[in-house]
Structure 1
Amino acid sequence: MTDAADGAAALKLAAQRGGASDLYRAIWRWHFYAGLLILPFLITLAITGAIYLFRDEVDTWVHADFMQVTPAGEERLVPSEIIAAALAAQPGTAVKYTDPPADNLSTEITVRPATGGSMAVYVNQYSGEVLEVRPDRSTFAWTVRYLHSFRFFGATPRMVIEIVAGWAILLVLTGIFLWWPRGQQGGVVSVRGTPTRRVFWRDLHAVTGVFVGGFLLFLAITGLPWSSVWGAKVNEWANGSNFGYPAGLRIDLPMSEEHLDHVAKTSWSLEQARIPEAVPPESGMPSIGVDAAVGIFDTLGLHRGYAVSLPTTPTGVFSGSVYPDDLSQQRVVHLDQYTGDPLLDMTYAEYGPGGRALEWGINTHMGQTYGRMNQIVLLLACLAIVVLAVSAAVMWWKRRPSSSLGVPPLPSDRRVFVGLFVMLGIGGVLFPLTGLSLLVMIALDLIWQWSTNRRRPDLAV
């Protein structure tokens, strides 16, 4: 009787171990596929992201010849004189005036020529000297930003952001399962061996992954608002009715078809916000002009470095907006161009809960919320992500059989895939583009299995 009980217990333990092994193999297989798909993109995102964290410092250093000026006392040209100097160097219509965030930085005027794209003109606000004329958003930092978001390559490649973010989440969750200690002494928080051995790269990958996994998860989730499909839908949901204004702040004013993001840099949650229209007075009252508008913005206390979108039509408004590191200082103010009255004055505190959460995530993702410490922590996270990707590639290269891709083996019990695919399917619904890429990967995996099974009889011979 005792022997029978011991035998049953042994069989049960073997079955449990076999089930655990099958689950491990299934998760390892899809962890491998996730890495195979996105590791090159992760390296690119990590490197460009690390540079963009220090965008202000990098830009003022790379473009010191036209971004930095020598302050000449308290006397500065008024905005209209600075704009006149810019238009003399670059004919067209001035559409934006950007207040310099510091006394030693030049003033940027955005000009829309009769033909071609917008141009950025940098002017010394003390002397009126035009320091540079170049395409708008063409500085080193803007180029890095467009590379980071894949916007540099057009609208369609930007969809890669959502795919990479979704697979990165899968990579972290499956990676934690694979790392989870199962009685081993090394490779949990320490690295064994030397770089000549595969175990060194396995441990380096696992230990780095467990420490940086939370940051990778955070960066993936907070990076999704910039994606083409998921980000656009969440933006529309967060804004409500496509106005972009939080509940309770819609005011009874005529609205133009122009969106705030089209005329000035704005917060993500307000990209779809429509701009109010001014009503031209019957008396023929002239516009108050840019000098008076800037004076009003200064009186209202907008944080330095604010941008002013200039009205170009009789119903246009002066729109002042600023998005500094301090979230509480975010602000958008629209002024009637004839009376100077604020048509809308919105701060971060007046965003809805969803808008505040999204803006905090985006601000922190960009290294702004917590000052220098925010930049340094995310810089270390970006470097660790590069180490994670490189160690994965080296580990795979050392593990793979010759003339083979080295795909992890299939589990003996295919039923373990059911639960895994249910979880993957839920993620695919939440992130549509990732879901589509998941279906493609499942199809490729089935083709790989079919081709491998066909080759086995030949190998046996």
Structure 2
Amino acid sequence: MNRQTPQSDNNQRYFTIWRWHFYAGMFVAPFLIILACTGLGMILMSNTLGRDNDRLTVPTSESMVQAPVATQAKNALGTLPDSTLIKYIAPRESDTVALFQVVSEGHDNMVAVNPYTAEIVKSIPTNSNLYNTFDDIHSDLLLGRVGDYIQETTASLTILMILTGWYLWWKKRKSVKAMLIPNDNTTLKKKRSFFRTIHGTLGSWISIVLLFFCISGMAWAGIWGERVVQAWSQFPAGKWGVAPIPLSIDHSQHHVGMDMDNADAAPHVHGATPAIVPTHGDALNTGSTKDVPWVLELTPMPVSGTTMGENGIAPNIPIMIDTVDRFVREIGFEGRYQMNLPQGATGVWTISQDSMSYDMKSPTADRTVHIDRYSGNVLADIRFDDYNAFGKFMAAGAAIHMGTLGLWSVLANVLFCLSVIAICVSGYIMWWQRRPRGIDEMIGLNPPARHLNLSVWWPFAIPLLVVAVIFPTAIIAIVAIALLDFLVISRVDFLRKLLK
């Protein structure tokens, strides 16, 4: 059988990088298809029903006035026995429902309420709709930490695949213009040339966006995101004095709580600093759903019962859900916002509005306010301008990644997801078309330049390894595959024939 041999160093380098690109693509393509399909699902659900049915509509007229939030909350609490109110989400529009998260033993429900009549419209378990199913698959394949690691490895290796893909397409086209707008008369005549053009051209067009999506997505992941980037990018909490020793509280000027508040409010708070101060993510995220801006997720929460804060609710006004709602409207919150009620003796009122939670379109309007449950003082008022550089990148990145910037970003995300699927499918079609026709040759992966011993091109390999080291799961995967190849695959004939 005739076997192709490299005719020059350039051919050797091309085949080497092609083989790297091939192996990376064979691993990541199935997961990229899953990410693209679930991304499409989330875009569809968030723009139709909403994450928690928050887009359900109710009849309205100009003469109708919204019922007190406390009345709406009381009816929501009545859907579960001995329940506690965790969160209130204000209506998105004048004709949409208000949402209340209520929990009792063994139950955690999101209750949609007509804000005018206070009637229950719908009640479902929190994070139980189709959006959250897509979100769970998108983030960890329903496999928890293992799935999170797989998805992070997929994104890491995709970055390496993009770099090798640029090289391969550049060698074929020799100019950026030809990479983006190929002029190939053989394209329509040869099937493989057609799919190669689709693969390379689409890849060139969306590669920068895909690179951006990989980095912004990995910033949420458990290793590169949580342990490397988020760890040093978190918002400094010292401005509100995290975990101070609570002071005695005089309630002669403030009524604490609300008419239907089941939180464990204490009339006086004494004693030592709490042993554990929860982070924003621990206190405010619901299950696997990310409700907290990235830069705040690992930042410790402030606590109630201190001398911190100022410019809050007036001392002669009782601190109840309706007065807090009125206050946050006065300080600039409009439309849909989220109010997390204080839980426990040192819990705080947290009011937030950000594009990542689909509250509004612009990430530059992000705002999180913490209010002391006893004094009514504003402990922190955090806005987009207060984020560090990477926090701003992630706020904007999440909006682009999730398509929350308006109709144009929804359509752009749909087109991007379809392009990713097309690139993956065209890659598999090219692989299938290139397979040898002999019976023996049909077995295995049949990588490019099969049967050739290709040496490592270190001038290109070293930069790739440097990039891999930046993203820990990539270098772990490369080392693991190298050890597997050396210890097992190269020593077992069947595996060597299957994979090489």
- Alpha-carbon shift at residue 230 of structure 1 (Å): 0.6
Question: Which deviations, in whole Å up to 9, do the C-alpha atoms of 1:263-290 show, x marking residues without a partner?
Answer: 4321111111222111189xxx996111
Distance in 2 between residues matched to 1:449 and 1:177, nearest whole Å: 28
- Alpha-carbon shift at residue 206 of structure 1 (Å): 1.6
- Alpha-carbon shift at residue 449 of structure 1 (Å): 5.1
- Alpha-carbon shift at residue 168 of structure 1 (Å): 0.8
Q: 2:476 aligns with which of 421, 436, 455?
A: 436
Tell me, what secondary structure is at the counterpart of 1:332? strand
Report the equivalent of 1:67.
56
Tell me, what secondary structure is at the counterpart of 1:274? coil
Tell me, what secondary structure is at the counterpart of 1:226? coil
Report the equivalent of 2:153.
163
- Alpha-carbon shift at residue 432 of structure 1 (Å): 1.2
Distance in 1 between residues matched to 2:322 and 2:36, nearest whole Å: 42
Report the equivalent of 1:106.
97
- Preserved contact between residue 102 and residue 110 of structure 2 (Cα < 8 Å): yes
Report the equivalent of 1:272.
298
Q: 1:41 aligns with which of 12, 31, 50?
A: 31
Distance in 2 between residues matched to 1:434 and 1:41, nearest whole Å: 15
Q: 2:464 aligns with which of 421, 424, 446?
A: 424
Report the equivalent of 1:4.
none
- Alpha-carbon shift at residue 355 of structure 1 (Å): 1.4
Q: In the superposition, relative to structure 1, how do residues 273 and 373 fare at CA in structure 2: closer, same or farther (>3 Å)?
A: same
One-letter amino acid matched to 1:101: R
Identity of aligned pairs, percent?
Answer: 27
TM-score, normalising length: structure 2 = 0.78
Distance in 2 between residues matched to 1:276 and 1:165, nearest whole Å: 34
Report the equivalent of 1:223.
217
RMSD between aligned alpha carbons? 3.1
One-letter amino acid matched to 2:280: L
- Alpha-carbon shift at residue 390 of structure 1 (Å): 0.6
Q: In the superposition, relative to structure 1, how do residues 366 and 22 fare at CA in structure 2: closer, same or farther (>3 Å)?
A: same
- Preserved contact between residue 190 and residue 207 of structure 1 (Cα < 8 Å): no
Distance in 2 between residues matched to 1:196 and 1:26, nearest whole Å: 25
Tell me, what secondary structure is at the counterpart of 2:395? helix
After TM superposition, the structure 1 = structure 2 runs for residues 91-240 of structure 1, keeping only pairs within 5 Å, are 91=81, 92-113=83-104, 115-150=105-140, 152-182=142-172, 189-190=182-183, 192-194=186-188, 197-233=191-227, 234-239=229-234
Tell me, what secondary structure is at the counterpart of 1:236? helix
| Gap regions ≥5 residues in structure 2 | 1-5, 245-273, 285-290, 308-315, 355-359, 437-441
Q: In the superposition, relative to structure 1, how do residues 175 and 440 fare at CA in structure 2: closer, same or farther (>3 Å)?
A: same
Report the equivalent of 1:340.
376
- Alpha-carbon shift at residue 319 of structure 1 (Å): 0.7
Aligned residues: 431
After TM superposition, the structure 1 = structure 2 runs for residues 244-259 of structure 1, keeping only pairs within 5 Å, are 244-245=235-236, 250-252=239-241, 254=243, 257-259=277-279
Q: In the superposition, relative to structure 1, how do residues 195 and 260 fare at CA in structure 2: closer, same or farther (>3 Å)?
A: farther
TM-score, normalising length: structure 1 = 0.85
Distance in 1 between residues matched to 2:471 and 2:339, nearest whole Å: 36
Tell me, yes or no, if structure 1 residue 355 matches structure 2 residue 391: yes
- Alpha-carbon shift at residue 416 of structure 1 (Å): 3.2
Distance in 1 between residues matched to 2:484 and 2:457, nearest whole Å: 15
Tell me, yes or no, if structure 1 residue 21 matches structure 2 residue 11: yes
Distance in 1 between residues matched to 2:401 and 2:165, nearest whole Å: 22
- Preserved contact between residue 62 and residue 140 of structure 1 (Cα < 8 Å): no
- Alpha-carbon shift at residue 415 of structure 1 (Å): 4.3
- Preserved contact between residue 489 and residue 495 of structure 2 (Cα < 8 Å): no
- Preserved contact between residue 80 and residue 103 of structure 2 (Cα < 8 Å): no
Tell me, what secondary structure is at the counterpart of 1:67? coil
Q: In the superposition, relative to structure 1, how do residues 303 and 254 fare at CA in structure 2: closer, same or farther (>3 Å)?
A: farther
Distance in 2 between residues matched to 1:215 and 1:430, nearest whole Å: 19
Q: In the superposition, relative to structure 1, how do residues 166 and 130 fare at CA in structure 2: closer, same or farther (>3 Å)?
A: same
Q: In the superposition, relative to structure 1, how do residues 184 and 453 fare at CA in structure 2: closer, same or farther (>3 Å)?
A: farther
One-letter amino acid matched to 2:323: A
Distance in 2 between residues matched to 1:27 and 1:298, nearest whole Å: 58
Q: 2:323 aligns with which of 272, 279, 292?
A: 292
- Preserved contact between residue 90 and residue 121 of structure 1 (Cα < 8 Å): no
| Gap regions ≥5 residues in structure 1 | 1-15, 457-461
- Preserved contact between residue 58 and residue 95 of structure 2 (Cα < 8 Å): yes
Tell me, yes or no, if structure 1 residue 400 matches structure 2 residue 435: yes
- Alpha-carbon shift at residue 85 of structure 1 (Å): 0.1
- Preserved contact between residue 266 and residue 322 of structure 1 (Cα < 8 Å): no
Question: Which deviations, in whole Å up to 9, do the C-alpha atoms of 1:22-49 show, x marking residues without a partner?
Answer: 1111100110001110101111111111
Question: Which deviations, in whole Å up to 9, do the C-alpha atoms of 1:191-222 show, x marking residues without a partner?
Answer: 64458732222222122212222221121111
- Preserved contact between residue 158 and residue 227 of structure 1 (Cα < 8 Å): yes
- Alpha-carbon shift at residue 343 of structure 1 (Å): 1.0
Question: Which deviations, in whole Å up to 9, do the C-alpha atoms of 1:230-266 show, x marking residues without a partner?
Answer: 1102111101xxxx337xx623354661222234321
Q: In the superposition, relative to structure 1, how do residues 195 and 135 fare at CA in structure 2: closer, same or farther (>3 Å)?
A: farther
Distance in 1 between residues matched to 2:434 and 2:120, nearest whole Å: 60
- Preserved contact between residue 51 and residue 132 of structure 2 (Cα < 8 Å): no
